[in-house]
Structure 1
């Protein structure tokens, strides 16, 4: 089978594949003043970002809440992904932002909890909601000592893979594979006129996503606290052997012919064309892309979400991101209603329904294999046993670091930069 494509995206820093492989992947206002009897307004607004006009997860969430709470009305506002962060920031600073909003975790971009929270624009939430936060994510949804948001779903950032297509060329990649296993099969794929991976090498977000998928094992595998150590000045990109291993893996993949021809200069159109023609077995994207593509193919394609295989001798860890969340407006006239809506969004039944609609993983302290969609079954045991790491860039202090990493990897692919050059640039961006 070939990939027939359409796709949604995930958050800008974490996703990095807005139109990759052809996947398809408003303004707002808070809900009016307090009534004469002192009751909160029962109409609130919800803004969310999406690159896919067909996405219904947030719309369904709002409808479910209204059905369970007669008399409440939620006005939803879909904003295009590529303008969402700036639009939201502008509205919030002007005092006319939504009551509830889709936010990005951490501090790495404009529409994030850290950035909005530091400006005092987000509603402090009841600490009871912390009970749903996956391990290692509390700091991503807090700022200034205040708890300000919750993730509404989880995703694996790694490989979207068509195993049926790969096996026809005698190529096998599983969660138990190593980097060396992958490298040894790339020539076989080339002989059949195909490539193991598609890469938009000229797009820094895509090369960055590839590198982070490898670094989940080589950097964050042995040291889950690498970000904290970097912030404390105890280490650096240049001093961390795991970052060198991750970048060397990219170079080795290129040398072994694992990417399509011309990958270094390729854009997302190369993934679109290659995947639709059945010439690529996999590419690098958040795992929600699996659902978008399979839905567009009407059952003709079966995809799985895989971690990137670690070098031999290093344990493989999927990168689990909790970077899509909800937060409330500090200026809302309905703080109790906003709190109630956010609590509803992360209740077990609704979280499962939301994740299924989005093609993601239900948010919660633990992950049950029975709650996972079929595309996650190859890594179900990894997720159940917490053999994963948080997506590193979610907690980086600014977006320039990821840009430096991604553009640096493009330089590696063209031969214009060395591994040392890339690491030096990432360290400089960390302190910018």
Structure 2
């Protein structure tokens, strides 16, 4: 079985995710480039992380140093919620890291498009050699390559199937939205919730809406973003967007989220998951590994797409939005380019994905997938997926309007039309 996976991107804000006990937030500053006449063999590498147990990039750096004696890579872990602003400030000041974790596309300030446009990124003419063209989407600017993807993830439901079945709840990749809603009361009766939602965090409410829109909007109309950019459609006039937000409202009305979801932060998800009160939440699929590792085998999770409404085909949102880029001002351009090329060699890409709990760059066989992806293997092989919808959005304000708007729907302060009009306004 082969997986002709097209890799896509999304704003880094969308990957904020809750983690259970043992996964702590970490923050530390980034570093600048080494100076000296000859090319220095010491470089600084900054990356974002939501927890201290995530070691994929640390392992990558150690592997490179082991294979290249005499090279030193100083890693700097930066808290996920501070990374974009930290990196942007450093690059503008001229003291950014030599190698950086970066978002593909143009939707965020600290993205390939934005930093390349500002002249901050090192061109990588040979880095994409051997990587399928679809995987490189979003890593070029004006025809030149400035970055490479690190791995692929599914934006969907991180789900405890074993716990859910103990309460008589069953959700699979073939379920419908109505199947889910019909079981929410059963979960509530057992003192649990099918989904946890950090309703006060726009990143989390936004990712929920985008997962549904992958089926209601981008499933039937893959060109919707291009149509919006051309002025052919608008959010407010698209039935698929209305359906996506109506699905959120229906889930909320049916009690599918935990009590107090509208005002909840990520701590509610952390506590609810660790106490066994939540079956699933909305995040990139790599979170399955984070949580299972923290539970030391006591929890088994799977990655699922969000079920589409009855009569609408379910599509997964698949993304390779996060990768690596180099600093144009580095004193070690050859070393930086070689390190980035090393990151996407087949052996290292597979090792990285296994460490991160994601899908390797260039995955072609079922054996390349971790066990938590078994339920979606058929969807991958049949290309039943779409890019994460924010791919072609012109700025981060549109996504912010969506996330904040969904919170307003939960509290009753906004209507579906209010949310979609705000998104159109943010588009510009």
Q: Return the TM-score normalized by structure 1.
A: 0.91
The count of aligned residue pairs is 416
Q: What stretches of structure 1 of length at least 5 have no aligned partner?
A: 1-9
> Is this contact kept in 1: 2:195–2:280, CA < 8 A?
yes
> Is this contact kept in 2: 1:133–1:151, CA < 8 A?
no
> Is this contact kept in 1: 2:128–2:136, CA < 8 A?
no
The alpha-carbon deviation at position 334 of structure 1 amounts to 2.3
Q: Deviations over 1:233-282 (max 9, x none)?
A: 12111121111110011111112221122222222232222222211111
Find the partner of 1:205 among 203, 206, 210: 203
The reply on whether 1:30 has 2:33 as its aligned counterpart is yes
The reply on whether 1:80 has 2:79 as its aligned counterpart is yes
Distance 2:309 2:104 in 1: 29
The reply on whether 1:253 has 2:256 as its aligned counterpart is no
Distance 1:338 1:249 in 2: 46
Q: Deviations over 1:36-77 (max 9, x none)?
A: xxxx33222211111222322111111111222223222222
Cα–Cα, structure 1 residues 66 and 128, in superposed 2: closer, same or farther, change >3 Å?
Answer: closer
The reply on whether 1:397 has 2:394 as its aligned counterpart is yes
Find the partner of 2:235 among 234, 237, 242: 237
The reply on whether 1:116 has 2:87 as its aligned counterpart is no
Equivalent residue number for residue 67 of structure 1: 66
Cα–Cα, structure 1 residues 22 and 391, in superposed 2: closer, same or farther, change >3 Å?
Answer: farther
The alpha-carbon deviation at position 80 of structure 1 amounts to 2.2
The reply on whether 1:374 has 2:371 as its aligned counterpart is yes
Equivalent residue number for residue 15 of structure 2: 15
The alpha-carbon deviation at position 367 of structure 1 amounts to 4.2
Q: Deviations over 1:199-233 (max 9, x none)?
A: 11122211111101101111111122221221121
> Is this contact kept in 1: 2:20–2:274, CA < 8 A?
no
Alignment RMSD: 2.0
Distance 2:108 2:132 in 1: 21
Distance 1:179 1:128 in 2: 42
Find the partner of 1:408 among 405, 408, 414: 405
Equivalent residue number for residue 193 of structure 1: 191
Cα–Cα, structure 1 residues 411 and 341, in superposed 2: closer, same or farther, change >3 Å?
Answer: same
The alpha-carbon deviation at position 139 of structure 1 amounts to 4.2
The alpha-carbon deviation at position 129 of structure 1 amounts to 0.5
Q: What stretches of structure 2 of length at least 5 have no aligned partner?
A: 1-9
Q: Secondary structure at the match of 1:336?
A: helix
Distance 1:407 1:193 in 2: 28
The alpha-carbon deviation at position 291 of structure 1 amounts to 0.9
Equivalent residue number for residue 94 of structure 1: 93
Structure 1 runs (4+) greater than 4 angstroms displaced: 18-23
Q: Deviations over 1:8-59 (max 9, x none)?
A: xx96422133568985463312232342xxxx33222211111222322111
Cα–Cα, structure 1 residues 140 and 34, in superposed 2: closer, same or farther, change >3 Å?
Answer: same
Q: Secondary structure at the match of 1:48?
A: strand
The alpha-carbon deviation at position 359 of structure 1 amounts to 1.3
